[in-house]
Chain A
Amino acid sequence: MGTKHRYPFLLALLCGLLWVSPALAETEPLRLLIPFFFGPTPLSQHVRTTINFEIIKAFRAVDAPEKGAWILYGQEALPQPTHDAVLSAAAWPSVRADLVIWGQVYKYDDGVVVQLYLTLTPLIKKRQVRPELWTLTLKDGRDQPVRLELDIPGQFYQFEPMLLAPEAILAFADPQGMPLYSDRQGGEVIGRVGEVMQFLEIHDDTLLIASGDLQGWVRTVPLSRQRSEAIDFSEGMVRLLRGDWGGARQSFSAVLENSSLPQSLRIHALIYSGLAREKGGLSGRGEFEAAYAINRLDKAASAYLLMSQVAEIARLQQSGAREQLPQARQRLQATLEATKVLFANDDPWLEKLRQLSRPPD
């Protein structure tokens, strides 16, 4: 790999306008890297540019082009198409990305397949404010305080492979890059989109871009006949990590509507949706139960279901409805019994749950 000893990424800027609402005032904006995609060129370059456009569109606001995330556009190739290589690239001081959306394009026999991934880097755990952590402190049967904490269950995601639409293959065959038009509709080609760009206007089907000395319109081409869950899922993760509970629920709800969703992603989308509900003051138990019902061996789904039952106990303790506590403890005990096989015997988190499920002396 020729770039092994070189600075791995020059970051073409990006447009990331920091927008902070009062509710999210304490959370830092996240850095989302979109590195070079693997696969034949110019196809893979065009696919990456289109994914960048889709991400920019996903984070657009009415008055500002972006919310809560800086999009970093990697300028050099990764050494390997692996989560590990992505983590190394994301850790470079010039990059320091919290999330990475990356991908690979395969010409596979009669068509072109795009495989997208999302990697959450360890930097998300080093933020000063981590709204996505679920923490509960409540009293056990002996009136002793017990603190429970649950971190998000996933860091490494692979999305459903996407079959590139024939019109996209045709449009992406141009080695000169994506055309930049003089007008939003019609007009003439005035140049090509460069690696450094600034987004001036964002619409569903077109974007007004300043790239180099040029300013013109890009017409986006749908990558596939079927909408990929990758954009909604990534948008949901950013919203969740920033404590935008309503936004996260909206994004994961869109993810869950996708009929081509891999089962592991469906389980995590349900968990994130339930977590956003709990964080927003609602019960997420329905979502956690649904996640657990899909695959009763799933440790994360079990942990969140257990946590929601603890949250219920906490709510009863706070509301003073003590007569309902024994039933809530019994439910917790029953779930504990059914799921204990998924945890190590000496799991300290599980031990705390056992402590909470015990009735008062």
Chain B
Amino acid sequence: MKTSRHLTVVLLFLLTAVAARTRAAPKNEVAVFEYEGVVAGEASSAKFGMFRGILKDKISNLTREVLQGDTQGFEYLQDVHINFRSKDTFTKSESVNLWLQNQASVLCLLRGTLVSDDNVTYVVKSNFHLGALKEYFPYDVVKITLPVSSGEFGNTQDSHSLVILYALAMDAKRQGFNKSHIARFLTAANNKLADIKRRGGALGDDLAELEKALHKTTAELLGGSDGN
């Protein structure tokens, strides 16, 4: 009886080890291309610099805050990083998707535009491309539009973190991790969504669609309930 229990434990261990070895490689790069409308030496360049700084600082701390001290099985997240690239040459959505398909380590691609009517106040328009990781999100691109303003600092952090967390959840699903693993990202994503709403900001059409996609994934996990 005791021997068969030991055998079962060993077998389970081996199966887990094999599953881990055969798991698809994680995607760990958030690729950010320089936004359109950014001109070196002009105000737009400084504004984009600030925006980039916020994203970089946020992503550097995001996984620590999501996992807290409970990191077992999440070691691969240590490699998640943001990579700032020069302006892209994509002309249409299909070419972006093709690029994503060829870049196995890219979790999501971020491009966009910095817009100003008066060279004083700016609006940042971010386009997130998730490729195959879009899952239940109905479009190829998640669009986020926010003024470059101190009052929108929190929403700038949280809206971009939200999309990255959704991508991490879908990537965990793609890698074949179990539900408890995927739930950790969805927990954090739902919290970010609540924070954006608490600040009174309108989610915008795409974040509202992303909320639906999140609820659908959560319901799938919990078996019918959306978790909130």
Task: Check A296 against B198 for contact (C-beta < 8 Å).
Answer: no
Q: Which residues of A (297-350) have their CB < 8 Å from a CB of B? A: 297-300, 341-346
Task: Check A109 against B53 for contact (C-beta < 8 Å).
Answer: no
Task: Check B180 against A113 for contact (C-beta < 8 Å).
Answer: no
Interface size on A, residues (CB 8 A): 44
Min distance, Cβ A208 to any Cβ of chain B, angstroms: 34
Stretch at the interface among B30-38, B64-72, B104-112: B64-72
Task: Check A104 against B195 for contact (C-beta < 8 Å).
Answer: no
Give Cα A300 to B188, complex, Å.
12
Task: Check A344 against B73 for contact (C-beta < 8 Å).
Answer: yes
Question: Which residues of A lie under 8 Å from residue B222 when comparing CB positions?
Answer: 296-297, 341
Option from B70, B179, B195 in Cβ contact (under 8 Å) with A262: B195
Task: Check B151 against A342 for contact (C-beta < 8 Å).
Answer: no
Task: Check A299 against B150 for contact (C-beta < 8 Å).
Answer: no
Option from A104, A108, A156, A296 in Cβ contact (under 8 Å) with B149: A108
Q: Which residue of B lies closest to A344 (CB)?
A: B180
Q: Which residues of B (2-21) have their CB < 8 Å from a CB of A? A: 12
Given the known interface contacts A81-B57, A264-B191, A296-B225, the answer about A110 and B149 at a Cβ–Cβ threshold of 8 Å is yes
Q: Which residues of A (61-102) have their CB < 8 Å from a CB of B? A: 80-84
Question: Which residues of A lie under 8 Å from residue B223 when comparing CB positions?
Answer: 341
Give Cα A104 to B60, complex, Å.
13
Give Cα A346 to B73, complex, Å.
13
Stretch at the interface among A158-166, A174-182, A185-193: A158-166
Q: Does A212 reach chain B (CB closer than 8 Å)?
A: no
Given the known interface contacts A104-B57, A263-B191, A296-B227, the answer about A345 and B64 at a Cβ–Cβ threshold of 8 Å is no
Q: Does B183 reach chain A (CB closer than 8 Å)?
A: yes
Given the known interface contacts A109-B149, A109-B150, A341-B222, the answer about A157 and B65 at a Cβ–Cβ threshold of 8 Å is yes
Option from A82, A342, A346 in Cβ contact (under 8 Å) with B12: A346
Question: Which residues of A lie under 8 Å from residue B57 when comparing CB positions?
Answer: 81-82, 104, 115
Question: Which residues of B lie under 8 Å from residue A158 when comparing CB positions?
Answer: 61, 65
Task: Check A117 against B61 for contact (C-beta < 8 Å).
Answer: yes
Give Cα A300 to B69, complex, Å.
11
Query: B158-194 CB contact bits vs A (8 Å, 1 = yes)?
Result: 0000000000000000000011110110111011001
Q: Which residue of A lies closest to B158 (CB)?
A: A262
Q: Which residues of A (280-304) have their CB < 8 Å from a CB of B? A: 294-300
Query: B122-162 CB contact bits vs A (8 Å, 1 = yes)?
Result: 10000000000000000000000000111101100100000
Min distance, Cβ B169 to any Cβ of chain A, angstroms: 10
Give Cα A294 to B191, complex, Å.
9
Given the known interface contacts A106-B53, A157-B65, A343-B180, the answer about A111 and B150 at a Cβ–Cβ threshold of 8 Å is yes
Q: Does B221 reach chain A (CB closer than 8 Å)?
A: yes
Q: How many A-B residue pairs have CB under 8 A?
A: 118
Give Cα A149 to B61, complex, Å.
28
**Central interface residue in B149, B178, B198, by most chain A CB within 10 Å:** B198
Given the known interface contacts A158-B61, A296-B228, A299-B187, the answer about A108 and B221 at a Cβ–Cβ threshold of 8 Å is no
Q: Does B218 reach chain A (CB closer than 8 Å)?
A: yes
Given the known interface contacts A84-B64, A263-B198, A297-B218, the answer about A155 and B69 at a Cβ–Cβ threshold of 8 Å is yes
Q: Does A197 reach chain B (CB closer than 8 Å)?
A: no
Option from B69, B150, B191 in Cβ contact (under 8 Å) with A163: B150
Q: Does B54 reach chain A (CB closer than 8 Å)?
A: yes
Task: Check A295 against B227 for contact (C-beta < 8 Å).
Answer: yes
Task: Check B61 against A83 for contact (C-beta < 8 Å).
Answer: yes
Q: Does B47 reach chain A (CB closer than 8 Å)?
A: yes
Min distance, Cβ B200 to any Cβ of chain A, angstroms: 11
Contacts A110-B151, A158-B65, A163-B153 supplied; 11 other A-B pairs, CB < 8 Å: A83-B65, A107-B50, A109-B148, A111-B150, A156-B61, A163-B150, A264-B191, A296-B228, A297-B186, A299-B70, A341-B221
The 10 A-B residue pairs with the shortest CB-CB distance, nearest first, are A111-B150, A263-B191, A297-B187, A263-B194, A156-B64, A83-B64, A113-B153, A108-B150, A264-B191, A296-B227
Interface set of B (CB-CB < 8 Å, partner A): 12, 47, 50, 53-54, 57, 60-61, 64-65, 68-70, 73, 121-122, 148-151, 153-154, 157, 178-181, 183-184, 186-188, 190-191, 194-195, 198, 218, 221-223, 225, 227-228
Interface set of A (CB-CB < 8 Å, partner B): 80-84, 104, 106-113, 115, 117, 151, 153-158, 160-161, 163, 260, 262-264, 267, 294-300, 341-346
Offer 11 A-B interface pairs, CB within 8 angstroms, sorted by A. A80-B60, A81-B57, A107-B50, A110-B149, A112-B150, A115-B57, A163-B150, A267-B191, A297-B186, A297-B222, A341-B222
